[in-house]
Structure formats: C-alpha cells, structure tokens
Structure 1
C-alpha cells in the first residue's frame, strides 16, 4: 500500500491530463496582442496620397553652353560687322560671300544657332541665311559637318531656337541640288526632337493665334519642315520620316 504524501493530491491515471490544459480539437488560441485599427493597413490607406511617377522632362529646356561661334566672333575671326539702315540691322560682310571657305565658316555659323543674346544670335542666324543663299555647290560637301550643330540646337528644347532651326532647315534643303537627299541618312539625329514637339499647336478657339502669322507655331513649322524633307529627299525620304515619326502622313502620296 502506497502512502500519499501530505499536501499532494490524488494520483492521476496514466494518460489523463489536467482539466485546465484540455482544449477543444481545432481550437486556435488567440494572441493576447491585438492591433489597433489606427495602425492597420486599411486605416492607413484612408489618408494616403499616392505620388505619381516623376516627369520625364521631355519638354524641359536645357541650358545653352558657350558656342564655337561666340569664340570666333569675340576673337575677330569672322568677316562680319553690324550695319544699321532704315530697315533695321543687317550684316555687313567684309568679303564677298561667294569667296568664303564654306567648309570652315558654314559649320561655325550653324553652331551659333544655340546663341540667344544679341548680337551673337543675330549674326549667326542672318549669316546662315546669307551663306545658304549664295553658297550654291559649296553647300553639299559641308552637310556632314552641319548635323551636330543642328542636333545641339534642337536638343536645347527652347521654343524660339527650335522655330529658328526649323526655318534654317527649310532653307537648307532647297539651297542647292541634292542637299535634301544628303540629309536623309541623318534623319535619326534630326527627327527625334521634332517627333516630341510635333503636336505642340496652340488652340486659341475663335481667337487669332499671332504666332501662326509670325511662323512661330512649332507644330506647324515641324509639319512644313517634314514636308520639305519629303519633297526634296527623294524616294527614300518618306519611309525614313515615317520610321522616326509614325504619325506623319505623306504630302506627295496623299
């Protein structure tokens, strides 16, 4: 006979558990820690403001840099001077334009397309038009040297500079025979910026858009320039324009 020790309870049969340890089958014990509603994701989402993706900056202007044209002008290496008459300012050439070395001077003037201050911007732009008007067969061999300054001017994304560069391009393709065809291989350098700004037209409703009268509407100028490229670029011009600007519609085929 086994004596029970004083203070100890009755012995339990083997396999029997204490009543307080028994729980129903499938019962999951709840955690004593409870998350307040104020800290739940659902509650936090109520006052959350979702920030959109950052701007790509496709239309943002780039700061201009010091150009080769400015360096040449300030050193006195360009045969030009400012002349005033009753019609305004004009360039006084110190030599006959036809006698200029176009391989040296025409690319320098094209670099001046990035200039925005007087008199540099005036000399560069007017000088380009004067040289294109009198250049003849001297222009075609210089085309490869003009692509980088044209691209640099367009990449500034300055509305005024883009408009001026587009007018220069329109003059360039008609300045001499085969110039338009010579530009076709360089469409990939010239046309990307035109593709970005192609649809930038000002809708003034019934009002008068004076920029159209001054030919300063970027969308219209780009359309005019692309049509000039197609007309002067030969049979491969349209397919190359279409590759870079899919929304362009032919002015010849249509």
Structure 2
C-alpha cells in the first residue's frame, strides 16, 4: 500500500498582491496591482491639445516645381508678385492648392500660401463660392495640426472666406462637423494673466478670441440655420444675434 506524502504549499508565497523585488524608487503604473505603500505613477496625459505636425503639403511640391504664377517681391516690404491677373486664374485649380499650404510652417511656403489666399479671396468675388467644397479638407487638415499659429491663420482665412461672397456663410453650414470640433476644443484657450498683458492679443493670435470672433461671424453671415448648427457642435457658444 503506497504512502502519499503531503506537501505544504504556502498560498501567500507567490501571491500577486505581494510582488517580489519591488523597487520602491520606481513608481507603478496607475490601475495596476501594487504593494502597500508603493508610489503610483500618475496616468498619462490624454493629449487633446498635442500638436500634430503635418507632412509636406502639395502646395510645396507644386511651388518647387514652378507651377504657380507667383513669386516673392523683395522691396521695402515682402510682397507676392502675381504673373497674371488674379481675376483670370482658374480658381477650381489654384485656390484648393493654396489652401493646402495653410499647414506649412516654413518660409517661403507659409508666406506665399497665406498671402496668396488673401489676394484670391479679396479679388475672387463670385468665383470663390463654387470652390468651397474643395476647400474643406485642407481647412480641416490645417486645424487638426493644433498648432496655435496655424489655427489662428486658418481662422483668419475662414473669416475672409465668409465675407468673400454674400452666400459663402450659408455654404459653409453643411461642413460645420469638419471645421468646428477644433474650434470647440480651443474656444476657451485664453491665458489668464491677471493684471498682466497678453501680447498675443496685439498680434491677433489669441486662439480663444479668434475662435469666438470666427463663430460670431459664421452666425451673422450664415442665415437662420447657422446658430442651431453652431450650438450643436459648440455647446458653450452663446448667440451674438438672438436676444433673450
């Protein structure tokens, strides 16, 4: 008759609640099993405001290839010299390419894209309205970089776009879902300096103020359906037109 040997097994010896060789100097990750008294590493940042560098734009490629009828004129001030009259340009071809350059941060691409857009929106008139659907994707790409300088420049372009034609504001309403999420994110991004001076305001680059000014312009120029659509995407927005 065989004899069975009973071995004692300590269930606490290998318990996951007491990990072996715990380094007290190295904090554990949040929401993990830890020993008593061990320091906890704070959870990582969600990164909602983290910048997303954009790849080189199509604008840079076509400019380097010499496809744009523009050049930089160096006088007392730097200007864009157009080789043809702006009114004679094919806006369906050129305007989306210039908008694609909004995400550029290097010279001369950044300057040429922004100044070229300003000139075309100023002199385009009725030619701008049919091109608006082609401008939404580059506008969204520029906003999604979350670079404050690019966002401010893009918001200024949206303002110029809205006033370029009497129907441009209404034409942008179907695209609020693409344009307004980043505005909602940065709507209250203002530096509280107390009695100090926020010098970005002098340059027109205060993101929160630019967002609010853009939303108010969209409401004023967007017709009767603009406010309810803005309110849906930016819940904290208060009408600048309606009286309660």
> Aligned residue for 2:214?
225
Aligned to 1:249: 238
Cα deviation, residue 34, structure 1: 9.5
Where do 5+ consecutive residues of structure 1 fail to align?
1-30
Measured after TM superposition, the shift of residue 137 of structure 1 is 0.2
Alignment-derived partner of residue 4 in structure 2: none
**Residues in 2 aligned to 1:236 and 1:35: alpha-carbon distance in whole angstroms:** 67
Q: TM-score when scaled to structure 2?
A: 0.85
For 1:54 and 1:62, the matched residues in 2 are separated by 18
Aligned match of 2:63: 73
Cα drift, residue 45 of structure 1: 4.5
Query: What's the counterpart of residue 63 of structure 1?
Result: 53
Alignment-derived partner of residue 145 in structure 2: 156
Q: Deviations over 1:55-106 (max 9, x none)?
A: 22111111221111011101100000110222x1010000000100100000
Which digits, 9 at most, give the CA deviation of each residue in 1:141-184, with x for residues without a partner? 00000000000000011111001001111111001120000000
Question: What is the distance in 2 between the residues matched to 1:252 and 1:59?
Answer: 30
Q: Structure 2, unaligned stretches of length 5 or more? A: 1-7, 19-33
The DSSP-based 3-state class of the residue aligned with 1:130 is: helix
What's the CA shift for 1:51?
Answer: 3.5
Q: Which residue of 1 aligns with 2:173?
A: 184
1:1-254 paired onto structure 2 within 5 Å: 45-86=35-76, 88-254=77-243
TM-score under structure 1 length normalisation: 0.82
Match of 1:20 in 2: none
- 45-54 or 202-211: which moved more? 45-54
The CA distance in 2 between the partners of 1:213 and 1:80, in whole Å, is 30
1:46 offset after TM fit, Å?
3.5
Deviation at 1:40, TM superposition (A): 6.9
Q: Rg: which structure is higher?
A: 1
Query: Aligned pairs, how many?
Result: 220
Distance 2:97 2:161 in 1: 15
Give SS of 1:92's match: strand
Q: Distance in 2 between matches of 1:105 and 1:40?
A: 65
**What secondary structure is seen at the aligned counterpart in 2 of 1:82?**
strand
SS at match of 1:170: helix
Structure 1 residues 40 and 191: CA distance shift in structure 2, 3 A: closer
2 CA distance for matches of 1:45 and 1:249? 50
Matches of 1:183 and 1:138 in 2, distance apart? 15
C-alpha RMSD of matched pairs (Å) = 1.9
Whole-angstrom CA distance in 1 between matches of 2:231 and 2:46? 24
